[in-house]
Amino acid sequence: MSLLPLPYRTGVVITFAVSVLTACGGVPEVTESSVDTVSLVQDEQGTRLVVGDEDFFVMGMNWDYYPIGTNYAYSLWEQDDDIIREALDREMSSLRGAGINAIRQYVGVPPRWVAYIRENYGIYTILNHAMGRYGVMVDKQWRANTDYADPASREVILSEITAMVEQFQDTPGVLMWLLGNENNYGLVWSGAETENLPEEELNYRLATPLYTLYGEAAERIKRLDTHRPVAMANGDLGYLDLIVEHAQAVDIFGTNVYRGIGFTDAFDRIRDEFGKPIFFTEFGSDAFNAKEEREDQLMQARYLKGQWRQIYDNASGLSGSDNAIGGLTFQWSDGWWKYGQETGLDVHDSNASWHNAGYPEDYVEGKNNMNEEWFGVVAKGPTDERQQFELIPRGAYYTLMQIHELNPYGPNVTPAVIADHFAGISPQTDVRRAAQEGPVNAQ
């Protein structure tokens, strides 16, 4: 039976459930008494996410673990437990120090480590299935460019999503299910490496099957798990008309947005056209100035301050669009493998792979200015024999730390309080602090 779209109207509470942690460690047994609720609540104040009986604004991070010299083929989860634990203790304590309460992880992490992160550091995982974004294995053959109209490819993807939900549905620490990663861009890009954003998206022949699959996947998840909401990770607002038509089963409009220091009309359009909360699954700035050919921590910190200010301003009850439930900064640490992906893995490459005029400090018309290997709010130190490395915070790390000291859902928070809070954050001071304090190795 097909599930009806969830209602979004004044006074409606949309309820899911998520396992809570026990004091003992490991993955607790889930019982009726150990189940908490996760709700999307919409009232006269707007829409917000609630975990248990507490409003939960997502102050999140795109997180992965690739030591210098490795690429996408490396997996932390294939290492010995003591190596995994050492890495997680260093990384998660540093994330927690910046006020991060949720991270985005792709399928592949074992459930017990999701529970470990939540239990020991209070950080939830948003679990992401790429939904064929980087290819799909059909009949033992790898198809690098997914044909979403192909029944066999669709069934493989849906089967994988089913397996994900069945594996994780009773795992403490999973906050929500996330589908895809700007798959609409993948319809026109030639491979997995980031290219220039499409200026026009007119290929409805390819896009329509993609968005019907989003709808089917969300419906399938809900048949299996009533515990958590389902979000998507779209590329900007591409094909919003198809999303409205075919993906009503998706609860949260997640989007990767790189428009510069703000998000322009994104809040209003999602509120008015889709009627669901907006969640920024990627946004940020690289820390390399392509025009001046140097690291530019101040530029990165300034953009993150401006972007998070807009997300806060549009949270429920703050007189903006009242539909922002938070976001995931892109990204935690530099990806030394991202330019070329299989070569130069021990070189911090400064080649820019795409251009974006929304970042005018280093934009020159006709030239690329976005440096994929430099988006980390922390840099990486050298890799040791155990695949461990120091984290070296940039100014943006301390900017985020200050931003997240204020919860926009907190008592007595008003637009004026938000304005005063952000006015008191100085990216210049944060860059100086980063230079003074150096690496962090908190446990």
Cα distance between residue 79 and residue 43, in whole Å: 47
Q: Work out how many domains the chain is built from and give that number.
A: 1
Best CA proximity match to 77, nearest among 39, 52, 113: 113
Q: Where are the alpha helices (H) located in 278-323, listed in sequence order?
A: 297-313
The answer to whether 406 and 400 have CB atoms below 8 angstroms apart is: no
CB count in 10 Å sphere of residue 30:
17
Q: How far is CA 223 from CA 21, 161, 162, 210, 230, in A?
A: 24, 12, 10, 20, 12
Q: Which amino acid is at 41?
A: V
Is position 21 within any domain? no
Is position 172 within any domain? yes
Cα distance between residue 214 and residue 47, in whole Å: 22
Is position 25 within any domain? no
What are the φ/ψ torsions at residue 379 (nearest 5 degrees)?
A: -90, 165
Ordered per-residue pLDDT tens for the chain, 443 residues: 322 223 222 334 444 444 433 333 333 343 333 446 788 999 999 999 999 889 999 999 999 999 999 999 999 999 999 999 999 999 999 999 999 999 999 999 999 999 999 999 999 999 999 999 999 999 999 999 999 999 999 999 999 999 999 999 999 999 999 999 999 998 975 555 555 555 545 588 899 999 999 999 999 999 999 889 999 999 999 999 999 999 999 999 999 999 999 999 999 999 999 999 999 999 999 999 999 999 999 999 999 999 999 999 999 999 899 999 999 999 999 999 999 999 999 999 999 999 999 999 999 999 999 999 999 999 999 999 999 999 999 999 999 999 999 999 999 999 999 999 999 999 999 999 999 998 876 44
CB count in 10 Å sphere of residue 248:
20
Is position 33 within any domain? no
With a CB cutoff of 8 Å and minimum separation 6, the contacts of 220 are 158, 161, 162, 165
Cα distance between residue 176 and residue 128, in whole Å: 9
Is position 32 within any domain? no
CATH number at residue 362: 3.20.20.80
Cα distance between residue 279 and residue 58, in whole Å: 9
CB count in 10 Å sphere of residue 80:
9
Q: Which amino acid is at 419?
A: A
Is position 178 within any domain? yes
Q: What is the pLDDT of residue 52?
A: 86
Domain that holds residue 352: 57-437
Is position 27 within any domain? no
Q: What is the pLDDT of residue 196?
A: 59
Q: What is the pTM of this model?
A: 0.91
Is position 12 within any domain? no
